[in-house]
């Protein structure tokens, strides 16, 4: 293992957040980021607006999904299409729009993974990319044995039955008042998956009871309002903020 990669993997939450941010970049710019962290090989998949990077070496692979781009109508449609439909292998229901984006690239992605994987597959993404990463991980668990999922600012993806059928290790990061983590709504039958890792208004990973989280949420809003940031939930959704806050946090 090269030293750059070895160092980067010592803080996987920060690395995966950084690669999730790089997924928004052009192939030329993203490649520079991947090389900076010791990954020499990558391939960009872009099919009808559904996009991800596959990054690999002889030991590990990372699949980084690109999140919502407001100028991409396919992304907007995917986010809005919250009707539930059967998930992979009919185990529960998932968000139609999110599944549709994964469907576009799955037939291209699957053989590449099977051809190149040798040890472990990390799957990551932010926002819509986090939702796609979650659905992709569900499909990968059926064909490979070692999948670890990191998502940032991810919306809910499926119903209780579908979430229960997803057996991969999943670290789901939520930055304070990130509004996207609260949709689609619980009352619509959607549930979150994985271990929730909450970043408080100071940017620290903490475990809080529900009532203390409510207090922390209000502190975050007050801090944002003092800076004339009146849409705190939107500011907290920024993937670069996730990466910055996780740079010096404990590893998972």
Rounded to whole angstroms, what are the CA distances from 101 to 22, 174, 229, 246?
19, 23, 32, 28
Give me the number of domains the chain comprises.
Answer: 1
More confident position, 8 or 166: 166
68 in Cβ contact with 127 (< 8 Å): yes
* Most confident among 5-9, 95-99, 227-231 (mean pLDDT): 95-99
Q: Are 176 and 20 in contact (CB under 8 A)?
A: no
Q: Of residues 126 and 207, which shows the higher confidence score?
A: 126
The DSSP secondary structure of 70-131, one letter per residue, reads TT-HHHHHHHH---EEE-GGG-SEEEHHHHHHHHHHHHHHHHHHHHH-SSEEEEEEETHHHH
CATH of the domain at 239: 3.40.50.1820
Report whether pLDDT(81) > 80: no
146, two tokens: 């070692």
pLDDT digits (tens, 9 = 90+) for 89-104: 667 999 999 999 999 9
Neighbouring residues of 12: CB distance < 8 A, sequence distance ≥ 6: 122, 150, 251, 252
Residue 117, Cβ density class (10 Å: 0-12 exposed, 13-18 middle, ≥19 buried): buried
Q: How many CB atoms lie within 10 A of CB 71?
A: 7
What integer pLDDT is reported at residue 6 of this predicted model? 83
Given a cut of 80, whether residue 118 has pLDDT beyond it is no
Domain assignment of residue 25, yes or no = yes
Residue 252 banded pLDDT, cuts 50, 70, 90:
low
**Residue 252, in any domain of the structure:** no
For residue 79, the Cα-to-chain-centroid distance in whole angstroms is 14
Whether 251 maps to a domain, the answer reads: no
* Domain that includes residue 96, residue range: 3-246
pTM (two decimals): 0.92
- Detail the DSSP E strand segments found in the chain: 41-47, 50-56, 60-65, 84-86, 93-95, 120-126, 147-152, 169-175, 195-199, 205-206
Asked if 148 contacts 123 with a C-beta cutoff of 8 angstroms, the reply is: yes
Cβ atoms 44, 50 nearer than 8 A: no
- C-alpha angle with apex 72: 71 to 76, nearest 5 degrees? 100
- 5 pLDDT more than 60: yes
Mean pLDDT, the chain, whole residue set: 89
The β-bridge partners of 54 are 43, 63
Q: Minimum mean pLDDT among 68-72, 88-92, 212-216: which range?
A: 68-72
| Residue 46 clears pLDDT 50, i.e. is over it | yes
Integer CA distances (angstroms), 94 to 70, 102, 136, 176, 180, in order? 22, 12, 12, 25, 17
pLDDT number for residue 75 = 45
């Amino acid at each position: 293992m090269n030293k750059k990669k070895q160092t980067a993997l010592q803080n996987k939450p920060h690395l995966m957040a950084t690669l999730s941010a790089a997924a928004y970049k052009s192939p030329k710019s993203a490649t520079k980021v991947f090389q900076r962290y010791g990954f020499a090989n990558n391939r960009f998949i872009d099919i009808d607006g559904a996009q991800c990077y596959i990054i690999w070496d002889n030991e590990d692979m990372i699949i980084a999904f690109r999140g919502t781009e407001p100028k991409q109508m396919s992304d907007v449609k995917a986010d809005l299409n919250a009707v539930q439909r059967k998930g992979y292998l009919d185990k529960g229901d998932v968000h139609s729009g999110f599944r549709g984006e994964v469907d576009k690239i799955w037939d291209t992605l699957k053989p590449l993974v099977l051809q190149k994987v040798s040890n472990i597959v990390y799957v990551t993404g932010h926002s819509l990319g986090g939702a796609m990463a979650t659905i992709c991980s569900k499909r990968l668990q059926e064909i490979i044995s070692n999948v670890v999922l990191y998502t940032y600012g991810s919306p809910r993806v499926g119903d209780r039955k579908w979430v229960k059928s997803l057996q991969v290790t999943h670290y789901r990061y939520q930055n304070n008042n990130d509004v996207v983590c609260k949709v689609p709504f619980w009352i619509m039958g959607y549930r979150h998956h994985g271990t929730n890792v909450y970043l408080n208004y100071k940017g620290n990973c903490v475990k809080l009871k529900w009532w203390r989280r409510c207090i922390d949420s209000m502190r975050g809003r007050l801090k944002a309002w003092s800076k004339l940031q009146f849409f705190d939930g939107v500011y907290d959704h920024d993937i670069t903020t996730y990466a910055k806050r996780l740079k010096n946090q404990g590893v998972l």
